[in-house]
Amino acid sequence: MSDVAFGIKDYYANIEKLWLDFGVAHTLFTPDLQVARSLEVAIVGSPSRVQDEITRFFETSGCNDILVSFAWGSLTQTQSERSMELFATRVIPQFGSASV
């Protein structure tokens, strides 16, 4: 998870620059991964942890869709592809075709 924590700091710096350049206010966004997780705006971790957090999100929000992102900040293509592969093979199948 340290790669993700490092990546989110770079992502935040880039997006914050855009916010400042265009005078746009930001909400619930932080360069601190633990704070983002506590605000429930970031889901990261092992496939089982991600599955549990997505399940909880669906149950508590009433939503039935989720937008995921694997390539941001300073994460390498290899890191992003590994996350996508784990998500595709170990998280999505747990929800079945009707829920995804």
Residue 100 in any domain: the answer is no
Amino acid at 57: F
Residue 24 in any domain: the answer is yes
pLDDT in tens, 10-45: 877 877 888 888 887 666 677 888 888 888 888 999
Q: In total, how many domains does the chain have?
A: 1
Residue 82 in any domain: the answer is yes
Residue 33 in any domain: the answer is yes
With CA atoms as reference, report the closest residue to 44 among 66, 65, 68.
68
- The larger pLDDT score, comparing residue 63 to residue 4, is at 63
Residue 46 in any domain: the answer is yes
Residue 77 in any domain: the answer is yes
> In the chain, how long is the greatest CA-to-CA distance?
43
pLDDT at position 40, please?
83
| Domain range for 49 | 2-95
Residue 41 in any domain: the answer is yes
Residue 59 in any domain: the answer is yes
